[in-house]
Amino acid sequence: MMRLLKLVPDDTNIRFLKWRNVAIILSIILTVASIALTVTRGLNFGVDFAGGQMIQVTFTEDDVAPIAELREDIDALGVEGASIQRFGDENQVSIRMRVTEGVDDDPELASAVSTRVTQMIEGEHAGARIDSVDSVSGKVSGELFRAGALALGLAMLAISLYIWLRFEWQFGVGALFALFHDVALTFGFFALTQLEFNLNIVAALLTIIGYSLNDTIVVYDRIRENLRKYRKMEIVPLLDLSVNETLARTVMTSLTMAIALVVLVFVGPDVLFGFTVAMLLGVFVGTYSSVYMASPVLIWLKVGSDTFVPEETSPSGQRIHKEGYDR
CB of 41 to other proteins, least distance (A): 25
154 Cβ contact partners less than 8 Å away, ≥ 6 residues apart: none
By beta-carbon proximity to other proteins, the closer residue of 5 and 68 is 5
| Rounded to 5°, angle at Cα 126 from 122 and 130 | 40
CB of 225 to other proteins, least distance (A): 8
CA distance 52 to 66: 23
By beta-carbon proximity to other proteins, the closer residue of 24 and 199 is 199
**How many CA atoms within 13 Å lie on the side-chain side of 248?**
10
By beta-carbon proximity to other proteins, the closer residue of 44 and 115 is 115
CB of 22 to other proteins, least distance (A): 28
CB of 210 to other proteins, least distance (A): 4
3-state SS track over 152-181: HHHHHHHHHHHHHHHCCHHHHHHHHHHHHH
CB of 264 to other proteins, least distance (A): 5
CB of 36 to other proteins, least distance (A): 27
Which own/partner contact pairs does 151-155 have at CB distance under 8 Å and 24+ positions apart? 151/202, 151/206, 152/183, 152/202, 152/205, 152/206, 152/209, 155/206, 155/209, 155/210
CB of 258 to other proteins, least distance (A): 7
By beta-carbon proximity to other proteins, the closer residue of 37 and 48 is 48
Please tell me whether residue 269 adopts helix, strand or coil conformation.
coil
By beta-carbon proximity to other proteins, the closer residue of 81 and 268 is 268
**Strand duo 128-136 + 52-59: pairing:** antiparallel
3-state SS track over 41-75: HCCEECHHHHCEEEEEEEECCCCCCCHHHHHHHHH
Please measure the distance between the N-terminal and C-terminal CA atoms of the chain and give it in whole angstroms.
35
By beta-carbon proximity to other proteins, the closer residue of 37 and 159 is 159
By beta-carbon proximity to other proteins, the closer residue of 41 and 127 is 127
